[in-house]
Amino acid sequence: MKKSLSLIVYITSILSGTSCSHYLDKEFDASLSEEKVFGNATMTREFLTNIYTNLPDGIGIYNDPQFLGASRDCMTDNSVSFWGLHYYTKIATDNYTATDHPLLGFWGNNFNGIRKCNQFLKYVDPTNPNNPHPDKSVISNSEVPGDDNHLRDRYVAEAKFMRALFHFELVDYFGNTPILENQIFDLSDQAAMNTPRKDAAEVLKWIADQCDAIKDVLPFRYSSDGNWGRINGAAAYALKSRALLYRASALHNSSNDKSWWTEAANAAKDFITKNTASVTPFKLYPDYQKSFYETPYQNDELILSRSIWYTNAIETNLLPYGFSGCSGRTNPTQNFVDSYEMSNGKMIDEAGSGYNPQKPYDNRDPRLEATIFHEGSVWGRADYNEQRAIDVTTGGKDYRGDLGGTFTGYYLKKFVNPDMVMQDKKTFAHVWVIYRYAEILLNYAEALNEAGATSSEVSAPLNEVRKRAGQPELAAGLSQDALRKKIRNERRVELCFEDHRFFDLRRWKAYEGVTATNETSKPRYEQLLNLYVTTVTATGGVPKYTGTTVNQNVKDDNIQTRVFNSPKNYLFPIPYNEVVKAPNLVQNQGW
C-alpha cells in the first residue's frame, strides 16, 4: 500500500479577512499518496508552498481576541494586555505548568514543519539518502535566465531553509532540540520522538551551517514580483546572522567565548557585503512608521515576511477603545515609553536632556510617535470627520470600558494603517516581518561590541539605524559597557512588538539577580519586573501626568508585577504529554 501524507493542513482565512492570492494560499490535498504528489510537478510545488504556512506569524493571533488578541510583547516589560483572559499575563507571572501552558503549540507546529520539509526533500533532493528515485525529478533543474534557474536546486534550498528555521524556533522557545535532518517522523510515534536533545549551541551552529550550504544557491533577491515572499538567499544570510548572535549570547555561551561573537559579527558583515554588491540591495525604508503598513512588496527593507494578509484585525485590535468596534488591548508600559531618548540623543533622566514630565512626549525620538498612541495623539480620517485627539484621561473617551481600554495610559500604534475608515472598516495588506535590514545592522553592532571592536566600528551600523529614525549619531569613544546599553536600548525601540524583546532578554540573561525589590533604584526603563503606568487627569483641558507602578494601582487593573524564576523561565516547558511518552527528551529545568 502506498504511504499517505498525514499532514495537518493549516491554510487560508485565519483572520477576519483573507490573505492575498499569492502561492501561499493554494490549498493542498493531504489525502494523496506521496508517490502521486511527488510524481506531479504542480502538486510538488503546492506541497512546498504548504510548508510556508508553518512560518512564524504574529498576525493570525489577532483572530483570537479572547485569548491571544494582543502583541506577544505583553509577555515582556514592553507591554501588558488589557484583557484578563489573554494568556500573556499568566505566562509573564509564571502561572502555568507543563500540563496546561497555553502556548506550547510552537512545539507541534515546528516539528510538523520539519516533518513536511523532510518529506519534500526525500523525493525532490537527489542527494537525500532516502530518495527512492534519485535519478528522476518532476521539477526541472535546467539553466535558464531569471529566478527559476536550476529550479529543483532552488526548491531544495527553500525546504532546507525552512527546516533550519523551524529548528531555530524550537531552540528559541524550548532550548536543547533534536536535530532531525532526514527523519520522517510523527509526533505520535513514541520511538521516533524518544531521542535525546542536542545542546542548543550545537543546534544553532548546525542551523548556521545549513544556511551556508544554501545561501548562494538561492537568488539573493528575486527579480520577479511573482516570487515575492519566497525564501531567498538573503533570508539564509539573515537566519545565519541571528542564529550565531543567539549562540554567542550568555544563555548559550556561558564562558563568553569571544570567537563566537566574532563569528556572529562576520555573519552579519557577510550579509552587508553581499547586499552591497546586489543589483537591488535591501535598505532601510525612508519612513519608519510607514514601513509597517505601506505596500509590503515595495518595501526594500523586508528580507522575509509571513505572506500578505488582507485584514483589519490589526486595526480593530490595536486602535484605542474609543473608536467604534476597536478594543485596544495591547497597552505599552511606561517602562517602554521611557526607553525612548530625547531628540538630542539623551535618555530622559540624563542631565541636559530637557525632559519635562508634564510635557512628556515633546522632543522625543520620532519612533515614539510612530509606535505609541498617547494622550493628545491625533488619529482618524479628517475627510470622514473621524479625526480627533486620543483621550486617555481618567473616564475619558479612550480610557476603559468593559471590553477594552488601557491600564497604562497607552495603546500600540505600530502596524496600524492610518487610512482606516471606521465607518466601513476596509481591509489592508499586512505582513508579519521575519527579517528586515535594520535587524542585520543591529546584530552587527552587538556582535562587534561583544567581540571587542573599536567604538567607531560598533557605532557605524548603529548610527545608520539611528539616522533613519531621525536621532543623532552616538558620541565618539563610548566604552564597551556604554555601547552595550545603547545597542540593547536601540533594539528595544527599533524592533519593538516584532517578537524580539522576549528572546533578547532571555539570551542576555538580563533577569539574573533581579528582583522586584532590588530593581526599584533603577530608572523605569531599566526595570523588568515592576511595571509602570501613567494616569492622566485634566483640569481646564490641561493634562496632568502621574506615574505609578502597577502594584500601587492594583484596585484599578488586572495586571500583576512580572515574575521571573531562574532558570525555569528562560525556556518554555516541553509539553508534559510529550515527555511522558518520550522521556529521553528530558523536561526543561524547573518545570
* CATH number assigned to the domain comprising residue 242: 1.25.40.390
- Same domain membership, residue 218 and residue 307: yes
Peptide bond into 366 cis (omega under 30): no
What band does 9 get if pLDDT is binned at 50, 70 and 90? very low
**Residue ending a domain, choose from 510, 538, 555:** 510
Q: Is residue 248 over pLDDT 50? A: yes
Query: Are residues 344 and 475 located together in one domain of the fold?
Result: no
Map residue 177 onto helix, strand or coil: strand
Q: What is the pLDDT of residues 389-433, one digit of tens each?
A: 999 999 999 999 999 999 999 999 999 999 999 999 999 999 999
User: What span, in angstroms and rounded, lies between the C-alpha atoms of 517 and 549?
Assistant: 12
Nearest to 476 by CA among 453, 460, 464, 492: 460
Tell whether 188 is covered by a domain.
Answer: no
Per the domain annotation, does 532 fall within a domain? yes
Does residue 391 fall inside a structural domain? yes
In terms of Cα–Cα distance, which of 284, 336, 343, 292 is closest to 492?
A: 336
What pLDDT band is residue 23 in, cutting at 50, 70 and 90? very low
Domain count, the chain: 2
User: According to the model, what pLDDT value does residue 183 have?
Assistant: 85
358 and 245 share a domain? no
- Does the pLDDT of residue 12 top 80, yes or no? no
Q: Which amino acid is residue 580, in one-letter code?
A: V
Please tell me the predicted confidence (pLDDT) of residue 554. 44
3-state secondary structure of 4: strand
C-alpha cell recorded at residue 37 = 504528489
pTM of the entire predicted model: 0.94
Give the pLDDT of residue 189. Answer: 77
Does 382 lie in the same domain as 260? no
* Same structural domain, 386 and 468: no
Same domain, 465 and 574: no
The whole-number pLDDT of residue 550 equals 64
The letter for the amino acid at 365 is D
Residues 392 and 437 in one domain: no
Mark whether 225 and 300 lie in a shared domain.
Answer: yes
Question: Would you state the pLDDT for residue 24?
Answer: 44
Average pLDDT over residues 298-302: 96
Query: Is 257 within a domain?
Result: yes
Residue 534: beta bridge partners? 547
User: Which pLDDT belongs to residue 16?
Assistant: 31
Give the pLDDT of residue 551: 58
Of 150-159, 237-246, 342-351, 551-560, the least confident = 551-560
Question: Once rounded to an integer, what is the mean pLDDT over residues 117-144?
Answer: 95
CB 143 within 8 A of CB 162: no
Q: Which of 71, 31, 68, 62 is nearest to 47 (CA)?
A: 31
- Where does the pLDDT of residue 188 fall: very low under 50, low under 70, confident under 90, or very high at 90 and above? confident
- Nearest 5°: CA angle at 176, between 204 and 264? 20
Flag whether 541 is in a domain.
Answer: yes
Q: Are residues 302 and 243 in the same domain?
A: yes
* Percentage, residues of the chain above pLDDT 90: 87
Whether pLDDT at 29 is above 90: no
pLDDT digit string (tens) for 370-385? 999 999 999 999 999 9
Amino acid at 324: S
State residue 552's pLDDT score.
53
Q: Does residue 342 lie in a domain region?
A: yes
Is a pLDDT exceeding 70 seen at residue 325? Answer: yes
According to the model, what pLDDT value does residue 11 have? 30
Sign (positive or negative) of CA dihedral 250, 251, 255, 261: negative
Residues 308 and 456 in one domain: yes
Look at residue 555 and tell me whether its pLDDT is greater than 70.
no
**3-state class (DSSP) for residue 364:** strand
What is the average per-residue pLDDT within 312-338? Answer: 96
CA distance 283 to 31: 43
CB distance 316 to 328 below 8 Å: no
Judge if 587 and 526 occupy the same domain: yes
Residue 587 forms part of a structural domain = yes
Residue 20 reports pLDDT greater than 70: no
pLDDT-derived band at 185 (thresholds 50, 70, 90) equals confident
Shared-domain flag, residues 403 and 455 = no
Do 102 and 64 touch, CB atoms closer than 8 A?
A: no
What is residue 561's predicted lDDT score, i.e. its pLDDT? 87
Grid-cell match 510524481, residue found: 39
Residues 69-108: tens digit of each pLDDT: 999 999 999 999 999 999 999 999 999 999 999 999 999 9
Per-residue confidence (pLDDT) for residue 182, from 0 to 100: 86
Q: Please identify, among 464, 488, 510, the residue that sits at the C-terminal boundary of a domain.
A: 510
Contact 177, 69 (CB under 8 A): no
Q: Is the pLDDT of residue 2 over 90?
A: no
| 177 strand-pairing partners | 198
Position 45 in a domain: no
Domain boundary at 487, 510, 533, which? 510
Query: What is the domain extent for residue 457?
Result: 214-312+427-510
* Residue-averaged pLDDT of the chain: 92
Q: What is residue 558's predicted lDDT score, i.e. its pLDDT?
A: 56
Closest to 65 (Cα-Cα) out of 86, 95, 49: 86
Q: Is the pLDDT of residue 4 over 50?
A: no
